[in-house]
């Protein structure tokens, strides 16, 4: 009976030396446990999100050489693993060397060739080219290869045969997206089944964490195993990989699906593990129950893991957070504190004349609760100096030989405060503390650029920028109730009206604050960004007219009526935010810090955008006219 080891390893992107060393260790471990087969994730050697590092020939050669070491290490155990495969004789469509995202099977020091393949490896067939995925940019697909060879993909897709003594196993090998074929014109799994009876399937993946994805995978992959009457081994890596602007955690969650479609074994999220299963026992195992947890528990786990690993990757042991007495910075503080420990955390409160005693006291209370480092650095003197210097310095017109003066608007003065806090104080404090300072923006602010560039938008990481405001509140409660088990974030911070406190118009003690009405705007903005079929003003207006807006957005009934007395108000609000979302906010996001992704659409590389200004369709303009006349 085959003993199979699932190697849920941390893959470090762009560091084949470290990944190979880890694989060697896990192979030794599996051999010592008498495993027959060990399965590593997709792209286990190079990592998956590497930007255009795939264009460096020396890097490719290095990955291939490390791959040969792993093949050589298959003397006492069959090793299945993902790596880049290079055909130096052929080219990709960009004129660079031919690269495949490949699945290697090595036994007794040699590669096993799939039945009908021209190469001794399996080639990824379905290439994701949406969201954060860029597979087609670098990897040549099986479909293209088939066309080049004058054949069709169904003739090439074939199982590999593994021999153990007298027994032969037909193994169906899949790479990640190959198992998610719903919207593709071919289904690799079905094509594999046509050839011969498959003894088991292996799907090696490098699948970033997305809220809700695991539940869906259990349904889809469980069904695949059941319909094929064959177990399916899904092996995913853990770790952190990024596309520059967007950072993804990889949760592992490697799973064995029995031939009955049940979950026979499941590795824990975000933990490196070598998990052993016996092929023949799978159907007898009691199905693993996946504990039901609230969404926010998953989100917290992803954020904590992501922050921890990101800090590790960039060698940043300490963190500075500007603390305002508001909810976003408080949640960031509680999160980082948990990850780093209070001795590595410095909170800085930077009051101006507009900051209330309420928020100043709440800031201090939070810092006391955490027991971290704390500083109060007022900005009033510096802000006044800036205003006086700019309004007081003569501006010469050297053509007309005249001299004038500049005047700062109220909004300009608000932005001076925000930049004074981040670019002047926090950046300098962080370097003195041997730290980076965080950006605490949430997704609603990020959507419409409700922040100051080089001010509160600055930071080394925006850990909360993929969370809507209501999720930030949920996270605050979760941190208090579950993670800390006490009121670490003062209830006053949770209860206070959200406000930037940059002018007398934003006085929290008078209940004044942000122009965003989160119970509505969170959901409106989500429709712009996260809906798979993206909503734009035309859709919003159509839903509004049809009376189905709240249902479509997923916000509470009565919300629209509560905030907007007339269609004119509704339209003015819609256009205000749409103009910002597709205008100034794009410019701000271009210069925003990296964002930690948890949703199925995070800003950055996942949500590509151009600085093209806002646009309203003709139909929108007609509907608007109709509404305003009616």
Contacts with a second copy in 249-288 (CB under 8 A)? Answer: none
Which one, 299 or 372, has the nearer CB to a second copy? 372
Near a second copy by CB under 8 A: residue from 278, 507, 609, 627: 609
Q: How far apart are alpha carbons 387 and 368 in whole angstroms?
A: 34
By CB under 8 A, the residues from 353 to 392 that bind a second copy are 367-368, 370-377, 381-382, 385-387, 389-391
Total Cβ atoms within 10 A of residue 360: 17
By CB under 8 A, the residues from 288 to 317 that bind a second copy are 313-314
Contact flags string 565-604 toward a second copy, x per CB under 8 A? ---------------------xx-xxxxxx----------
Q: Virtual CA dihedral for 324, 439, 373, 306, nearest 10 degrees?
A: 130
Torsion sign (Cα): 29, 34, 40, 45: positive
Our finding on whether 558 is near a second copy (CB under 8 A) is no
Our finding on whether 93 is near a second copy (CB under 8 A) is yes
Our finding on whether 89 is near a second copy (CB under 8 A) is no
Residues near 91 by beta carbon (within 8 Å), at least 6 away in sequence: 97, 98
Region binding a second copy by CB under 8 A among candidate stretches 79-87, 466-474, 553-561, 612-620: 612-620
Distances (CA, A) of 28 to 41, 213, 576: 17, 32, 61
Question: Token pair for residue 581?
Answer: 């979302």
Near a second copy by CB under 8 A: residue from 184, 226, 492, 512: 184
Q: What is the CA radius of gyration of the chain?
A: 28
Region binding a second copy by CB under 8 A among candidate stretches 33-41, 301-309, 563-571, 615-623: 615-623
Q: How far apart are alpha carbons 544 and 550 in whole angstroms?
A: 8
Among 411, 409, 412, 436, which residue's Cα sits nearest to residue 422? 436
State the minimum distance, in angstroms, from the CB of residue 183 to a second copy: 4
Near a second copy by CB under 8 A: residue from 1, 72, 411, 482: 411
Strands (E), 315-434: 318-322, 345-349, 373-376, 395-397, 402-404
By CB under 8 A, the residues from 41 to 80 that bind a second copy are 47, 49-53, 55-59, 61-62, 65-66
Near a second copy by CB under 8 A: residue from 33, 34, 68, 96: 96
Are 396 and 403 within 8 A, CB to CB? yes
Strands (E), 108-229: 110-111, 122-123, 160-164, 167-175, 200-205
Which one, 382 or 559, has the nearer CB to a second copy? 382
State the minimum distance, in angstroms, from the CB of residue 414 to a second copy: 10
DSSP state of 499: -
Contact flags string 139-178 toward a second copy, x per CB under 8 A? ----xx--xx---x--------------------------
State the minimum distance, in angstroms, from the CB of residue 410 to a second copy: 11
By CB under 8 A, the residues from 316 to 345 that bind a second copy are 342-343
Instruction: List, as one string, the DSSP characters of 471-495.
Output: HHHHHHHHIIIIISSS--S-HHHHH
Instruction: List, as one string, the DSSP characters of 168-182.
Output: EEEEEEEEGGGG--T
Tracing tokens 């490896």 back to the chain, one arrives at 121
State the minimum distance, in angstroms, from the CB of residue 553 to a second copy: 16
State the minimum distance, in angstroms, from the CB of residue 318 to a second copy: 12
Near a second copy by CB under 8 A: residue from 89, 166, 292, 397: 397
State the minimum distance, in angstroms, from the CB of residue 25 to a second copy: 18
Are 76 and 94 within 8 A, CB to CB? no
Question: Token pair for residue 444?
Answer: 């609603």
State the minimum distance, in angstroms, from the CB of residue 39 to a second copy: 25
By CB under 8 A, the residues from 488 to 547 that bind a second copy are 532-539
């Amino acid at each position: 009976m085959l003993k199979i080891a699932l190697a849920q390893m941390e893959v470090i992107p762009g560091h084949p030396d470290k990944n190979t060393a880890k694989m060697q260790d896990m192979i030794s471990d599996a051999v010592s446990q008498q495993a027959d087969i060990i399965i590593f994730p997709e792209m286990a050697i190079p990592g998956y999100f590497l930007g255009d590092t795939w264009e460096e020939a020396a890097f490719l050669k290095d990955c291939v050489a490390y791959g040969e070491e792993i093949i050589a290490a298959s003397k006492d155990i069959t090793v299945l693993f993902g790596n880049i495969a290079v055909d130096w004789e052929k080219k990709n469509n960009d004129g660079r060397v031919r690269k495949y995202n490949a699945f290697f099977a090595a036994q007794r020091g040699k590669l096993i060739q799939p039945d009908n393949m021209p190469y001794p490896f399996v080639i990824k067939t379905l290439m994701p080219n949406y969201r954060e995925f860029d597979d087609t940019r670098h990897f040549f697909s099986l479909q293209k290869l088939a066309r080049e060879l004058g054949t069709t993909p169904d003739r090439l897709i074939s199982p590999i045969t593994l021999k153990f003594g007298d027994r032969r196993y037909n193994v169906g090998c899949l790479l990640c997206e190959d198992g998610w074929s719903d919207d593709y014109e071919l289904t690799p799994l079905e094509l594999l089944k046509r050839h011969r009876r498959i003894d088991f399937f292996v799907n090696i993946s490098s699948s970033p964490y997305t809220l809700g994805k695991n539940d869906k995978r259990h349904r889809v992959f469980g069904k695949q195993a059941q319909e094929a009457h064959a177990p399916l081994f899904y092996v995913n890596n853990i770790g952190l990989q990024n596309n520059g602007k967007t950072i993804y955690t990889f949760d592992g969650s490697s799973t064995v699906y029995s031939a009955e479609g049940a979950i026979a074994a499941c590795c824990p999220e975000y933990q490196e593990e070598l998990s052993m299963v016996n092929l023949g026992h799978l159907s007898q195992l009691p199905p693993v129950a996946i504990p039901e947890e609230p969404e926010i528990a998953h989100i917290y786990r992803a954020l904590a893991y992501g922050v921890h690993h990101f800090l590790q990757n960039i060698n940043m042991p300490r963190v500075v957070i500007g603390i305002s007495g508001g909810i976003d910075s408080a949640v960031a503080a509680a999160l980082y504190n948990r990850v780093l420990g209070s001795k590595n955390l410095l909170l800085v409160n930077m009051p101006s004349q507009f900051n209330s005693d309420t928020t100043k006291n709440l800031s201090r209370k939070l810092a006391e609760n955490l027991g971290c480092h704390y500083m109060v650095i007022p900005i009033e003197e510096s802000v006044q100096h800036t205003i006086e210097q700019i309004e007081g310095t003569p501006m010469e017109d050297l053509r007309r030989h005249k001299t004038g003066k500049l005047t700062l608007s109220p909004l300009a003065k608000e932005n001076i405060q925000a930049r004074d806090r981040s670019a002047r104080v926090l950046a300098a404090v962080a370097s003195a503390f041997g730290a980076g300072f965080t950006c605490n923006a949430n997704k609603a602010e990020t959507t419409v650029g409700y922040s100051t560039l080089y001010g509160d938008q600055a930071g080394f990481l925006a850990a909360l920028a993929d969370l809507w405001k209501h999720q930030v509140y949920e996270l605050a409660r979760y941190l208090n109730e579950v993670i800390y088990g006490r009121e670490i974030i003062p209830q006053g911070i949770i209860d206070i009206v959200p406000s930037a406190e940059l002018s007398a118009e934003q006085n929290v003690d008078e209940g004044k604050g942000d122009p965003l009405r989160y119970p509505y705007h969170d959901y409106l903005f989500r429709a712009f960004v996260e809906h798979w079929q993206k909503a734009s003003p035309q859709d919003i207006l159509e839903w509004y007219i049809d009376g189905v807006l709240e249902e479509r957005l997923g916000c509470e009934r009565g919300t629209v009526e509560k905030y907007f007395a007339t269609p004119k108000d509704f339209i003015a609000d819609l256009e205000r935010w749409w103009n910002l979302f597709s205008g100034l906010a794009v410019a701000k996001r271009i210069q925003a810090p990296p964002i930690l992704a948890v949703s199925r659409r995070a800003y950055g590389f996942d949500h590509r955008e151009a600085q093209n200004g806002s646009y309203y369709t003709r139909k929108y303009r007609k509907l608007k006219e109709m509404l305003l006349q009616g």
